[in-house]
Amino acid sequence: MKPQDIVSGGKATVTSLWIFGYGSLVWKPDFKYRRSQVGFIRGFKRRFWHGDNFHRGNDDLPGRVVTLIEDDDATTWGVAFEVTGSQVEESLKYLNVREGVRGGYLTKAVEFFPDGGDDDKEAMTAPVQALVYIATADAPLFLGPASPELIGAQIAVCRGKTGHNLEYLLRLADFMRQSCPRVDDPHLFAIEAAALAVVPYLLAVQ
C-alpha cells in the first residue's frame, strides 16, 4: 500500500508510516513519532518558490517557504519520521491542516534513503517509502522562481503567525550545516546570505 493511499475517511489504515520533512519539519515536527533519521530523496530539488500567508507571512506580504521541484539529477536532504500505532492518524490529522489546509501542499510517495554516514547502530540502512508534502506550480500560493537577492529580501521583511520568515530560513540553513555537513545547498545558502545582507538596513530604519 502506498503512503498516499493510507487515509480513508479520515482514518489511518496502516500501523506504521514514514514522513519526510525538508522544511520546517526538520526542526519543528510538532507530532509524536517513534524515531527519526537524517537522509535524502532523489529526483527533487528544494526551492523557496512557495508563498506563505499564514505561518511566515500574511495576505499583504506573503513569505517564502520551500517546496520540491522535480529534477532527475537532484537530491534533497531532510529528516524522515517514523510514526506508529495511534501516531499515524494523529500526525496525519495535524499535518493535513498544517501543510494541506494552511500551506496548500499535496501528498506524494517518495523513496527515502537514510544517511549512510550515521554511526548510530540502531539507525536504519535500507531505503523506505515515505510520505512527503509538496506544493505544485498550480497551487494558489505558488510564487515561482526569483533571484536569491529578491527572495532573500522578501524573507527578511515577512512575518506570520508562527514567526519571522527569516527564522525559518536560518533554522533550515543551520540544520543543513549541523546535520548534513557534507552536503552543499547553493540555493539555500545564497538566499541566506542575501537575507542577512538586508537585515542591517532594516534595523537602521527602525
Question: Nearest 5 degrees, angle CA 48-CA 154-CA 42?
Answer: 5
Q: Give the burial string for 33-60 (b: 16+ CB within 10 Å, else e).
A: beebbbbbbeebbbbbbbbbbbbbbeee
The Cα–Cα gap between 165 and 57 comes to 7
- Residue 99 among the catalytic residues: yes
User: Which candidate in 99, 111, 149, 167 is catalytic?
Assistant: 99
What is the rounded radius of gyration, in angstroms, for the C-alpha atoms of the chain?
17
38 - beta bridge partners?
Answer: 79
Residues annotated as catalytic are: 99
